[in-house]
Amino acid sequence: MSLLKEVILQIFFALTPFVLYNIYYRDKLKNYSQSFILVTSSFSLLLAMTFASSVVDGVIFDIRYVIMFFGLVYGGVQTALLLLVEFVIYRLYLGGEGTRVALLMLVCTFTLCLIITKPYKTTYRKSLYTFLAGILFSVVALGLTFIFFPAYVKQHLAYHLFVIPIQNSVGIWLLMSLFSKAIADKELFIEHAQNEKFQAMSHVAASLAHEVRNPLTAVKGFLRLIQESPEEHTKTEQYIKISLDEIQRTESILTEYLSISKPLKDRSDQINVSEQLHVIQEIMLPFANMHNVELDVQIYDTPVMIFANPDEIKQVLVNIVKNAIEACTDVPNGRVILSILMEKGNAILMINDNGNGIGMDESQINYLGSIYFSTKSSGTGLGLTYSYHVIHSIGGSVRVTSEPFVGTQFTIIFPCHVDMIEKMNNGLTA
Ligand code: ADP
Ligand code: MG
């Protein structure tokens, strides 16, 4: 029974990188890094060796080969070499009769890992391959132990023939298959989150096309009028001025649209959120018009500065405003209000469809931000997942209050940097 406990414990240690991956990368929009593999594998190795299974003092068996193989596949040769060093140092420290054979075994299995990693990466039958790798490691361990301690192996033959191969095979198979599934899911999520951006922007583009047509029709009309009576100079001047204003407005909408729909840049900057709200109003107004929803922006002209990636913040605002507009579609007098204020060094941004939005009940509110949660027939359920991720990554938070058939208020709290607050105060008193 205690042997079974030890085996289960070893398999659990083998799964440490997988468990930590799910905790650490849960809400992140990126996949694992080499240093993550190194840290978690080292931790797993330490646990496995400290609580190794053993039938004779000084001769210990654990899932070190599993960890080594995992480190090599996902972290590369450098990670595996560092794990090897860690193993050697710790094994020497633990000491005992089996130290010499353990070091020799490790050299052999490390070489074996190097040989099988490449075919493992290309094979389609990964589960079978990992299972066999576990058996192979156990055979090497058995062979070398037999050369050094034949009497001991004969005495504990069942342990070497069954327990260790099962421990290694199940451990390696579980770790490799669960981890590869987890990272494949994450990759899919990242890909979907990026597609979501294009999908959201293509919805906005459809309404934008309408909006661009209106000024074009107006300009065409004015040009006709000028053509018909070119001698009326005062009127011509007036028509030209209106036409230029229309063209200017259309141009600025298109420029902003293009700046949002292009791929994200990896940079952070000081952003004036008040200014961004005006931009979002311009971009989203056609979408609001198309859905018969009024879009109001209530801000005072004080700059509200935060430090973030401007492209990401625009995308977050588009996502949340788009949801608010969609929530008021099909209701009479649909209205979405954006407002911003400063409070205790925070920028508080409110997006409100409270009054006539479709609203949400308690359980829906709890699901907000969860991947793929959507109540719309053609929704993706990724807009808020992405938005929450961006807001949290700059130390912000989101509060949602909602009532079914009454409406919803999203409150986003962005921290303002202290020196920015000082600058803003100086700017106000100057
Ligand atoms: P999608 O819009 O593709 O459904 P999102 O992640 O943008 O995905 O939103 C997830 C879900 O959150 C929506 O399907 C909707 O049920 C809910 N939701 C978000 N904003 C609002 C809102 N303002 N009013 C009511 N429900 C909302
Ligand atoms: Mg949405």
User: What pLDDT shows up at residue 96?
Assistant: 79
Please work out whether the CB of residue 351 comes within 6 Å of at least one atom of ligand 1: no
Structure tokens at 153: 């192996």
User: What pLDDT shows up at residue 157?
Assistant: 85
Q: Give first-to-last CA distance, the chain, whole Å.
A: 78
Residues at Cβ < 5 Å from ligand 2 ion: 323, 383
Q: Which ligand is nearest to the CA of 385?
A: 1
- Quote the pTM value: 0.61
Distance between Cα 408 and ligand 2 center (Å): 14
pLDDT along the chain (430 residues), means of 10: 81 94 82 93 92 70 88 93 92 84 88 89 87 88 88 85 88 93 88 73 72 79 85 84 84 71 70 87 84 86 84 87 90 90 88 86 89 80 83 90 93 78 50
Which residue has its alpha carbon closest to ligand 1 atom 14?
374
| Measured CA distances, 86 to 18, 54, 198, 218 (Å) | 20, 20, 46, 74
Please work out whether the CB of residue 354 comes within 6 Å of at least one atom of ligand 1: no
Please work out whether the CB of residue 384 comes within 6 Å of at least one atom of ligand 1: yes
**C-alpha angle with apex 113: 108 to 119, nearest 5 degrees?**
140
Distance between Cα 321 and ligand 2 center (Å): 9
For residues 309 and 268, the answer to whether their CB atoms sit within 8 Å is: yes
Structure tokens at 244: 């230029």
Which residue has its alpha carbon closest to ligand 1 atom 21?
323
Which residue has its alpha carbon closest to ligand 1 atom 25?
359
User: What pLDDT shows up at residue 254?
Assistant: 77
User: What pLDDT shows up at residue 424?
Assistant: 53
Please work out whether the CB of residue 327 comes within 6 Å of at least one atom of ligand 1: yes
Residue with tokens 């997988």: 18
Choice from 350, 370, 374 to test ligand 1 binding pocket (greatest atom count within 8 A of CB) = 374
Nearest to 323 by CA among 261, 275, 386: 386
User: What pLDDT shows up at residue 429?
Assistant: 41
User: What pLDDT shows up at residue 266?
Assistant: 66
| Measured CA distances, 357 to 201, 364, 407 (Å) | 22, 14, 4
Distance between Cα 409 and ligand 2 center (Å): 15
Distance between Cα 116 and ligand 2 center (Å): 46
Please work out whether the CB of residue 415 comes within 6 Å of at least one atom of ligand 1: no
User: What pLDDT shows up at residue 210?
Assistant: 67
Here the contacts of 142-147 (C-beta below 8 Å, separation 24 or greater) are: 144/101, 144/104, 144/105, 144/108, 145/59, 145/98, 145/101, 145/105, 147/101
Distance between Cα 165 and ligand 1 center (Å): 50
